[in-house]
Structure formats: structure tokens, C-alpha cells
Amino acid sequence: MLWLQKHKVQQDGSVVPLVDSTGTVVQVPVQPKRIIFLNASNLEIFTAVGGKAAGKTTSTSYPEDILPLIKDIPEIGMIHSPNVEQILGLKPDLLIGVNVPFHIMLRKPMEMAGVPLYINMINSYEDVLKTIDLFGKFAGKPNEAAAKRAKIEADYAKLTSDVVTGHGPRTLIIFGSPDSFNMATEKSFVGDLLQRLGGINIADGESKAKDSSYIPLSMEYITKADPELILVITMGDGQTVMDKLRSELDTNSVWKDVQAVKNKHVYQLPGNLFTVNPGTHIIEAMKQLRGYLKEASDGK
């Protein structure tokens, strides 16, 4: 029967079992040669440690420093709708994606085609370091990866040497706009960084949604928690969004009594570092965050 011809293509060369971020054991080639990346942040780290990918996701959020290095890598469609045929046409020996439905969905058909799918999530500072190590191995450049990692660890130590956890300003991280917004919890990448820099995230106080990175909180709760610092991550970038937001906060009678608004400690986090995962630019993101935290605590 025509449709029962299932093909199992044997991999050449040896494989090694690795456990990915979803707990799945993936048979990864010891030295993968053609890796396709299904999301931007994983590709960024791979490129930063000296790797050359065989395919990349269609995206506008690649950091500028790697653009010249990746401009001739073929695209395989957007993050939430990768084109399977394009992927197989590029003859990859490994796919690397994140834990989203349309990446997981590729696992079965790709396995039948003999291409393993490795899910790599970057949700914290440690994840960035781990990813640098792993991708250094994949790229065949362990030394470059080790150097990159050492640099980040040294910078991190310097940046956090005088941090006393839980003594920073009470902070609210808004994701969206003041009309329709969610708050970042400690589960989110930015929430993780905030905690490491000593900030107190008001969304973690009484949140019962333990699993969510972003949760809706009531205006009443915000008034009661009275944040000293408000950080905003918007999807669209640019000054207009922020101007509109500031004027709304200033005129809205509930918002304008919040300490952060009164003392003008409302800042927009740059989209290139916070809307997408900063990857190896994590220290830049932390420096930015640290600066805002300092301003809020100094200006009390």
C-alpha cells in the first residue's frame, strides 16, 4: 500500500543520547554538521560561539552584531509555522527549537525522516551558560564557547557582587500597554534577572499562578503593592508608545498616586534585549536593568 511506506533513514556517523528541555531523550549526532534553528535566540548563541547554521527562522529580531554572519543562511519560515518541506530540503542532521506547539509537532515526522529535534529553552541565566557550552560542542568550537562563558561569568560576578537579594525597589514589570497588560513573574526571563539584581517583583507576592511567566493582576493589587519602579516591555517599539503610556499614567487617577509614577521611575526596557531573549547579550540586559533599579532606589 502506497501510504504505508514509512521510511526510516539511518544516520551516518555516531549519535549520543541527550536529554532536552522537555525531558525527552534525543539521539543527537556527536558532531552535527547541518543544524537548523527554529527560533532566534538559540541561533544567536550558536552564532556567537562561532557556529554556522544550515537554516534559520524568518525573524526581524536578530541582534545586529550577528546579522552579517547569518544573512546568507536560508530561511525556513516563521517561528510558529516552520515549513517542514523547506527544512528537509536543506538536509539537516539536527533541528534545534523551543518548547512551543509547532516545534514539538515536528518531532514525529522529522524522526521518521531521520532528523532529531532537540528542544532548548533559555529561561534563566544558568540556561544561557548551559546553552553556550552545548552549542560550543555542536559548533566544534569548545574553546570559543568556554571563553564566552568565562567572560559572561566574570561580568556577572562584577555586576552582582554588591547585590543584597530582596532589598531593591518594589518593581512592576508590565508587558503590553496600560489598557491591556500582564505582569512578568519570576518565571519569566526578565523576572529572573530582576531577582538576581535584588529587585522585588510585586507580581511574585501573592501570585497563585505558579506556572505562568506573565499574569494579569488587578489594579487594586497594584495600588496596594505601590511599586517604586515600573518597567515596561512593549511589543511595538518606539517613543510614541512610551509617550502615550507616560501621559496615561500621569493622568489616570489610580496610576498617578503610585510611587513609581509620582517619582517618574517609569522606563521602557529596550525591545532587542527584553522582548526577545537576549542570549549572549544577557550582561547588557542586566546592566540596563541594574541602572533602572539604582535610579529608583537613589531617587526615593
Binding site for another protein (CB under 8 A): 2-3, 5-7, 9, 22-24, 58, 74-86, 88-89, 91, 99-102, 104-109, 112-114, 119, 175-176, 182, 188, 209, 211-216
The least distance separating another protein from the CB of residue 157, rounded to whole angstroms, comes to: 30
Nearer CB in complex with another protein: 107/290: 107
The least distance separating another protein from the CB of residue 297, rounded to whole angstroms, comes to: 28
Nearer CB in complex with another protein: 22/263: 22
Q: Label the pairing between strands 117-119 and 214-215.
A: unpaired
Quickly count: other Cβ atoms within 10 Å of residue 235's Cβ: 10
Go through 71-89 and write b for each residue having 16 or more CB atoms within 10 A of its CB, e for each that does not.
eebeebbebeebebeebbe
16's enclosing H/E stretch is: strand 15-19
The least distance separating another protein from the CB of residue 251, rounded to whole angstroms, comes to: 26
Nearer CB in complex with another protein: 6/71: 6
The least distance separating another protein from the CB of residue 42, rounded to whole angstroms, comes to: 16
Nearer CB in complex with another protein: 145/214: 214
Residue bearing cell 516545534: 103
The least distance separating another protein from the CB of residue 113, rounded to whole angstroms, comes to: 5
Phi, psi values for residue 160, rounded to 5°: -110, 10
187 near 211, Cβ under 8 Å?
A: yes
**Pick from 30, 173, 192: nearest CA to 121:** 192
Nearer CB in complex with another protein: 110/139: 110
